[in-house]
Amino acid sequence: MAKIVGPGSLIVDVTGFAPHLPVAGETVKGTTLKFGPGGKGSNQFTAAHRAGSTVKIISRRGDDFLGQILKKHYETEGMSEEHIVVDPQDETASALIEIDEKDAQNRIIVIFAANEKVTGEHVLAAEKDFADCDVVLTQFETTLDALLTAKALAKKYNKPFILNPAPYLEVPVEVFDGTDYITPNETETLQFTGINPDSDENCRKAAEKFFEMGVKNVVITLGKKGVYYSNGKEEFTIPATSTKAVETTGAGDAFNGGFATAIGEGMDVKTALYFATCTSGISVTRRGSSPSMPYRHEIVELMEKEFGIKID
């Protein structure tokens, strides 16, 4: 069983579903509204937990109505809250999500709130868990101070450092330097490298840009076109699953949680990417972000069904 630690966001999703997304000035009659646990960090750690990992997220929330939703989620899942600071003076973060029922696409406004108060000191307080973890997992919905401190601890204890560079932020190159695995999607790849990964050649060129920044392994998620991987010496593309999407919110988070679990268990990169692809492929067949994350037996079954790969 892999152990995964890192700073990450805690956000409650407020999701509305409608036949189509409104244009400016338009009111659309929706079909339903749901409140649920989310946030890139929490989603990724939930995905990793359900995929078979022991997880410890370093984060912060309020003790308000939205905070209780997150509290219930962690208690129900049996996930550790040891490094989650709860402050009654904080506002729990939220995401306003609109879902187009026609094509499962989304539009999101995120209010980071308490997540912006997570510091390097919070991360250092969890150093004992970095010392014996298998993977450090991070994304950009926490502070750079927390992220860089986590990166430094990963280096100190020689642990794989996975960075999901989402959502896009203008950051100093030191954030990328020494990163073991970077996992941008198509849009983020374009934003960080200036190259649209719309072909094998452009994926290769984008990867080279990341290598110049000091990244060791590049994983570009390409939606329905699968996943591109390169370490500068070898490259390949993993196809997407044939599952039908009903909501894509959290798909990238599912991928990262699955990938971190697989790397933490010592799987080779190609097998880890198949595992991550199946984790994501199942998540899009369900509504919600954290609640849509699949369980390990489902991932294992899909790997064998879609790709003929058998694992425990």
Residues that are catalytic: 253
Q: Give me the phi and psi of 128, to 5 degrees please.
A: -60, -30
d(CA 194, CA 241): 28
Please name the residues in contact with 143: beta carbons below 8 A apart, sequence gap of 6 or more: 7, 115, 116, 117, 118, 119
